[in-house]
Amino acid sequence: KAGVTQTPRYLIKTRGQQVTLSCSPISGHRSVSWYQQTPGQGLQFLFEYFSETQRNKGNFPGRFSGRQFSNSRSEMNVSTLELGDSALYLCASSEGARSSYEQYFGPGTRLTVT
């Protein structure tokens, strides 16, 4: 099976712009989670989707949003970009939303905001 894929892998945006990142889970996986990783804050949970429904959300402002499609692919959107949004954005997929399912991580999208 192919692993989790994320596109694009690298992105440079200007402050104030918006960005959309994409995540394709492993075939058969119905749960997708998104994480932000920065040198200062480390890894932080953004949100989790299962069967097109957001199940959990981390402590991020409303500028961060996401969605999941019927084929389990997921997108996250950040509007009105700030310099502090520069980070590695990781998604992970699992078979289900229960804690007993292992997560498989994608390679990440490195976003730089200038």
Residues in touch with other proteins (CB under 8 A): 33, 35, 37, 42-45, 48, 55-56, 58, 88, 90, 92, 99-100, 102-105, 107-108, 110
Minimum CB distance to other proteins, residue 96 (Å): 12
Strands 31-38, 104-105: pairing is unpaired
Neighbours of 83 (CB within 10 A): 9
Q: Of 46 and 113, which CB lies nearer to other proteins in the complex structure?
A: 46
Q: Which is nearer to other proteins, 13 or 57 (CB)?
A: 57
Which amino acid, 77?
Answer: N
The C-alpha R_g of the chain, in whole angstroms, comes to: 13
Nearest 5°: CA angle at 88, between 63 and 25? 85
Distance in Å, CB of 43 to other proteins, minimum: 4
- Rounded least distance, CB 7 to other proteins, Å: 15
CB of 16 to other proteins, least distance (A): 26
Q: Which residues contact 1 (CB under 8 A, 6 or more apart)?
A: 26, 27, 28
- The two tokens of residue 30 are 């119905």
Between 80 and 88, name the residue whose CB sits nearer to other proteins.
88
